[in-house]
Amino acid sequence: MRLATHPPMPFDYSLLLVGKYHDMLVAGFLLSLQLLAASLMLALPIALVVALLRLAPSAPLRWLGFAYVESIRNIPLLAHMLFWYFGAPELLPEDIKQRLYAGRIEAMSAIVALGLYTAAYMAEDIRSGIRAIPAVQMEAGRALGFGFLATMRRIILPQALRVTIPPLISQTLNLWKGTSIATVIGVAELMYQAGQVESATFRSAESFAFATAAYLTVSMIITGAASWYQHRFPPRAA
Amino acid sequence: MIELVQTYWVYFLIGQYPKGPLGGLALTVLLAALGLVLALPFGLLLGMARVSPWRWLRWPVTTVAFVVRGTPLLMVVFWAYFFLPSVTGVKTDQFTTMLIALVVFDGIYIGEIVRAGILGVPRGQVESARSLGLGYGRAMRFVVLPQALRSMLPSLVNQFVSTIKETSLGYIIGLAEVSFIASQINTQVFTKPVQVYLVLGLTYFVMCFGLSRFAYWLEARTSRRTLVRSAPKAPA
């Protein structure tokens, strides 16, 4: 990023409301939202599987879940992005690679990195939600002849969901903030566009104010959703 | 892979150091450690302000905390990059910019840890301190904070793990920390991106996993001690 030192300019709202730069910023905002939605869709099922692995009756499966969670959480998201963008595609066969490079590979890599990263955190939230359900519920299910997975699906998970939703919503907030890191591999999301507008116009305050306001608005909606849920469905004693 | 490590390990660890500025893993650790140490007093004040009985102090600090926690760190870095030179009039280098962004961001998060720590001290402790004649400040300093700080220790170690991970954003403003150096190496080698980024990931993993296990151990030890201390004494 280039450094702009200049006398303070009056804040120019028109830049943000109409014209080319407005369109760039809005396009970035929409792409950020798409990244959020797509990686959430990817993260949730993986998180559920990993949480079940971590609670599985067999030790190697538990170890696999542990290895997933720890190896992902102890490496910064930025390093995940770099790996999935620069490294991982090289491992693919030539023809798939060509097709990927022809398409929107940056966005794909960002979604994979964000999805896998968030899944590790969400898996831990789901796991502690499941552990909040008394062990006798599992024992009763098993004694009635349900298998491990059937007991999970029919007895434990429906109860665990209630305590798990609020932490999952706050992980969604982290995911939303994490989408900004996709800038690093050149995904044209909000932070990237704010940087582009800044270097084209030197209007740092305006472009960063737009981005900050947009990030804050979505963060507030997500936080609001969490407190609405907790108010509407307070945790019940199991 | 072996050859890669043999050729580049010094560059990876300290950047161009003797001939140029410090970089690589050493810079990452230095930045994270400085960031956390400088954020600590800041976070302590913020946390105390968030539980203070005075509204004029509590409300603005709560608002700022809410705003910073709803914003990506990268946004804070961009603001610092833009604001610092126009406020101070001096061109700020990437290290200072990143350090200030980290101190602000981590300060807010440490403030939350301090707040939780203070709220975790049993109410009776404050009440007995106050009824013994200690004022608010002295009750805080001699009774509440010493207990709160002890229970916060594991969270602070975890915050250090987050800080190490956060320093990777220095890459974006061109700070030569370990992710940036890894990318430089990747550009020079060109043919081994998978290996280069695996080594980078492994480096972060070793540091952060070690520290988070340490936090886990601390937490287990603290809760054991608390149990022993609060257990009723056997009648003599």
CATH number at residue A210: 1.10.3720.10
Rounded-to-integer distance, Cα B110 and Cα B45, Å: 10
Q: Are B187 and A80 in contact (CB under 8 A)?
A: no
pLDDT tens-digit profile of B79-107? 998 888 877 777 788 999 999 999 999 99
Tell me, yes or no, whether A215 lies in a domain: yes
Whether A35 contacts A109, CB under 8 Å? no
CA A232 centroid distance within chain:
24
Q: What average pLDDT score do residues B16-41 get?
A: 92
Residues facing residue B210 across a β-bridge: none
CB of B88 less than 8 A from some CB of A: no
pLDDT digits (tens, 9 = 90+) for A92-121: 888 888 888 888 899 999 999 999 999 999
User: B173: which DSSP letter?
Assistant: G
From chain B, the residues in CB contact with A203 under 8 A are none
Cβ distance B106 to B43 under 8 Å? Answer: yes
Q: At what angle do helices A19-54 and A204-232 cross, to 10 degrees?
A: 40
Q: Rounded distance, CA B78 to CA A152, Å?
A: 46
Q: Give this prediction's pTM.
A: 0.90
Q: Which of these, A29, A12, A19, lies nearest to A176 by C-alpha position?
A: A29
Residue A82: CA atoms inside 13 Å, Cβ hemisphere, count?
A: 28
Give me the pLDDT at residue B87, please: 77
B172 touches chain A (CB under 8 A): yes
For tokens 């995940």, what's the residue? Answer: A80
Domain that residue A41 falls in: 19-232
∠ CA A168-A170-A172 to the nearest 5 degrees?
A: 70
Task: Report the distance separating Cα B74 and Cα A1, nearest Å.
Answer: 13
DSSP E strands in A72-163: the ranges are: none
Q: Which residue has the higher pLDDT, A174 or B219?
A: A174
Question: Does CATH number 1.10.3720.10 belong to domain B2-230?
Answer: yes
Using a CB-CB cut-off of 8 Å, the residues of chain A touching B166 are 76
Query: Chain B contacts of A179, Cβ < 8 Å?
Result: 72
Does residue A2 lie in a domain region? Answer: no
Q: What is the pLDDT of residue A237?
A: 58
SS3 B89: coil
Domain residue spans in chain B?
Answer: 2-230
User: Once rounded to an integer, what is the mean pLDDT over residues B109-121?
Assistant: 93
CA distance B6 to B26: 18
Q: In this structure, what token pair is assigned to residue B235?
A: 């009648």
Q: How many Å apart are CA B158 and CA B153, to the nearest integer?
A: 9
Rounded Cα distance, A126 and A49, in Å: 10
Indicate whether A155 pLDDT > 60: yes
A77 is a domain residue:
yes
Percentage of the residues of chain B whose pLDDT score is greater than 70:
95
Residue among A82, A201, A219, A220 with most chain B CBs within 10 A, to mutate: A82
Q: Distance from first CA to last CA of chain B, Å, rounded?
A: 67
Task: Give the distance between the most distant pair of CA atoms in chain B.
Answer: 75
* pLDDT at residue B90, as a whole number: 78
CB < 8 Å to A74, chain B = 161, 204-205, 207-209, 212
CB within 8 Å: A215 and B173: no
Distance between CA atoms of B227 and A233, rounded to whole angstroms? 33
Q: Give the Cα separation of A23 and A31 in Å (integer).
A: 12
B87 Cβ under 8 Å from any chain A Cβ:
no
Point out the residue among A79, A177, A208 whose CB comes nearest to the CB of B82. Answer: A208
List alpha helices for chain B, DSSP H.
2-14, 24-50, 55-69, 73-88, 94-120, 123-131, 136-139, 145-166, 178-189, 193-230
Determine whether the interchain pair A87/B198 forms a contact, defined as Cβ–Cβ distance below 8 Å.
yes
Q: What is the residue-wise DSSP string for B20-34?
A: S-B-HHHHHHHHHHH
Residue B82 is given by DSSP the state: H
CB-CB under 8 Å, B172 with A177: no
Cβ–Cβ gap B204/A5 under 8 Å: no
DSSP state at residue B15: B
Question: Residue A31: which residues within 8 A CB-CB, separation 6 or more?
Answer: A107, A187, A188, A189, A190
Residue type for position A189:
E
Using the Cβ of B158 and the Cβ atoms of chain A, whether some distance falls under 8 Å is answered with no
CA gap A16, A19 in Å, rounded:
8
- Answer whether B46's CB lies under 8 Å from B110's CB: yes
Chain position carrying tokens 């608390």: B226
Interacting residues of A45 by C-beta distance below 8 A, sequence separation 6+: none
Angle between helix axes A19-54 and A59-73 (nearest 10 degrees) is: 150
Using CA atoms, how far residue B132 sits from B10, B41, B119, B126, in Å, is 60, 28, 20, 10
Q: Which residues pair with B22 in a beta bridge?
A: B15
The answer to whether residue A88 is domain-embedded is yes
Residue B9's pLDDT is 87
Contact of B75 with chain A, judged by CB distance below 8 Å, is answered with yes
In this complex, is the C-beta atom of B197 within 8 Å of any C-beta atom belonging to chain A? yes
Nearest by Cα to A172 from A9, A24, A35: A35
Burial A19-48 (b: 16+ CB within 10 A, else e): eebeebbeebbebbbebbebbbebbbebbb
Least confident of A149-158, B6-15, B226-235: B226-235
The total number of structural domains that make up chain A: 1
- Mean pLDDT, rounded, of chain A: 90
- Is the residue at A6 inside a domain? no
ipTM score: 0.88
B62 to chain A, any CB pair closer than 8 A? The answer is no
Most B CBs within 10 A among A3, A9, A72, A75, hence the mutation to make, goes to A75
* Gap between the Cα atoms of A181 and A84, Å rounded: 13
Asked if pLDDT for residue A6 goes beyond 80, the answer is no
